[in-house]
Amino acid sequence: MVAALVGDPARANMLTALMTGRALTASELAQEAGITPQTASSHLSKLEAGGLIEPEKQGRHRYYRLTGPDVAGVLEGLAGLAARAGHMRVRTGPKDPALRRARICYDHLAGDLGVQMLDSMKRQKLIRQTKQTIELTGEGRRFMADTLQIDANMLAHPRRPVCKACLDWSERRHHLAGTLGAAMMARFTELKWAARDATPGSRVVNFSRTGEKRFAALFGPGE
Amino acid sequence: MVAALVGDPARANMLTALMTGRALTASELAQEAGITPQTASSHLSKLEAGGLIEPEKQGRHRYYRLTGPDVAGVLEGLAGLAARAGHMRVRTGPKDPALRRARICYDHLAGDLGVQMLDSMKRQKLIRQTKQTIELTGEGRRFMADTLQIDANMLAHPRRPVCKACLDWSERRHHLAGTLGAAMMARFTELKWAARDATPGSRVVNFSRTGEKRFAALFGPGE
DNA sequence: CCAATGCTTCGGTTATCATCGAAGCATGAA
DNA sequence: TTCATGCTTCGATGATAACCGAAGCATTGG
């Protein structure tokens, strides 16, 4: 049954990550779902057998993408039903619930705090999000230079956007990705506001007491 | 997660039964899914909590229906994905696999043999199925009279159609219901071709050796 | 009132399956 | 070749949840 495939939280997270349309490697999907590569491999096999995703070998990577827009449509429909029932409930994946609070998504901040930060930045008009694109405003550039010592001009990258909205699997809302998101996370680390968890491979991000306060001062939740 | 609700075979069978748009009682749904009322009750609670179905009390019955066409739409979409992947696979419910072969659906034959019978009758042009309706042909009336001693004129009923296609949960295809379906099943029993299983409450139908042969002669699978 | 029916709740059992450690295979790099 | 990376397979463990028997409410009918 196809529904059972989507029913598992880990697999649902993977599928959600693929909803962007981009193809992701098996390891990236494992990371996104918060599970080990072994477990992910098992899930990916099942999803492939169920015809929901298709692989593409490229070197020693295996890229997976959704098999078609109809799959995305059904997933969207399921999410719609969940929303309609007031069921936008957060089902954390298998692992650590601290992942929900703050975690690394590749190289930028995700989780509750990541979503909160993007919301706050939009509210403060530091960034402007149009239909498809998202970009720094003039005020945003000043803010980055003054408060975080980030030179927006240095963020340009040939293959990567400065700002990008990334769908958060635990919150099902967007957080900030792109070179800016990465730079901000790097700055937080430099300032010792936050640090990645010591346990190797963990995606958890721990905020220090002062770090949490400073962060809240800049990007606190809506008043 | 909504998908997990649909993922369970028993619940999927219930939802499939509700796809007709009609409301069914808890017991009927339990019967349709091949599980006991206790188990069904648990499933129905979850489906209700998930916002997929809604109850309506009426006397000592509880009727359940889908909460809306959007639910049906998503279910349809899921079925579509399953079909697309060549995955129209039969996942039998929890209970006895003999139920898949032949069972009672209210008062008529369901399961593998039920589906096979309806197919065969269509192939022999004994019945004609148009878009919405399904009815006996002239040849079909003769066939019923000659081989099964069923007078089609006696089948009329104020509140029930003579022929009706009923969605089979184990085969996900239609079998024949209505007064004709009931009359045929009754005849099979009279002729001792088949008998309901002795264990009380069982829906299993056991065919005798000769009964199976006669049945196959009349309604065998496509050549 | 009592009995019967329809459904639910409770408890305990069983099975399925997600999960991870360890080892195995590939591919690409040195 | 040897090493490293990315992914898969195998095996064992553990947790979730489906399942049913038994008992408990509620409604209807007598």
- Residue spans per domain, chain B: 2-84, 98-219
Per residue in A44-57, pLDDT tens?
Answer: 999 999 999 999 88
Of A2, A73, A87, the CB nearest to B51: A87
Q: Which positions 118-137 of B are in contact with A (Cβ < 8 Å)? A: none
Q: Provide the CB-side half-sphere exposure for A162 (13 A, CA).
A: 18
B36 nearest nucleotide via C1' and CA: D20
Collapsed DSSP state (helix, strand, coil) of residue B211: helix
Q: Which of A80-94, B16-30, B62-76, B160-174 has the lowest mean pLDDT?
A: A80-94
pLDDT the model gives residue A200:
45
Q: Is A45 on the interface with B (CB under 8 A)?
A: no
Q: Which of A18-22, A77-81, A200-204, B97-101 has the lowest mean pLDDT?
A: A200-204
Alpha carbon of B108 to those of B74, B117, B182: distances in Å? 30, 12, 5
Strand D nucleotides with an atom less than 7 Å from a protein beta carbon: 5-11, 17-23, 26-29
Contact B77 A85 (CB under 8 A): no
Nearest C-alpha of chain A: how many angstroms from B89? 8
Given a cut of 80, whether residue A31 has pLDDT beyond it is: yes
pLDDT the model gives residue A147:
94
CA B166 to C1' C6, whole Å: 24
Residue of A nearest to B68 (CA): A81
- Residue B203: closest CA among B168, B178, B164, B152: B168
Burial grade of A97 (CB within 10 A; 0-12, 13-18, 19 or more): exposed
Residue of B nearest to A77 (CA): B74
CA A21 to C1' D1, whole Å: 41
Q: Which positions 160-219 of A are in contact with B (Cβ < 8 Å)? A: none
Helical axes A37-49 vs A26-33, angle rounded to 10°? 110
- Residue B20: closest CA among B32, B3, B4, B35: B32
Between A199 and B130, whose confidence is greater?
Answer: B130
Q: Any alpha helices (H) in chain A, and if so which ranges? A: 2-7, 9-18, 26-33, 37-49, 69-84, 98-101, 112-123, 138-148, 178-190, 209-219
Contact A3 B12 (CB under 8 A): yes
Per the prediction, chain A carries an average pLDDT of 82
Burial grade of B45 (CB within 10 A; 0-12, 13-18, 19 or more): exposed
The structural architecture, per CATH, of the domain A2-84 is Orthogonal Bundle (1.10)
Nearest C-alpha of chain B: how many angstroms from A143? 40
Per residue in B31-41, pLDDT tens?
Answer: 889 899 999 99
CB A47 within 8 A of CB A53: yes
CB contacts, 8 Å: B80 with chain A: 70, 74
Collapsed DSSP state (helix, strand, coil) of residue A152: helix
Per residue in B72-101, pLDDT tens?
Answer: 878 878 988 887 776 444 444 434 567 778
Q: Per CA to C1' distance, which residue is closest to C18? A: A39
Largest CA distance in chain A: 55
Maximum mean pLDDT: which of A95-99, B60-64, B161-165, B172-176: B60-64
Given a cut of 80, whether residue A173 has pLDDT beyond it is: no
Contact B81 A2 (CB under 8 A): yes
CA B61 to C1' C2, whole Å: 21
Q: Per CA to C1' distance, which residue is closest to D26? A: B60
pLDDT the model gives residue B192:
92
Residue of A nearest to B92 (CA): A1
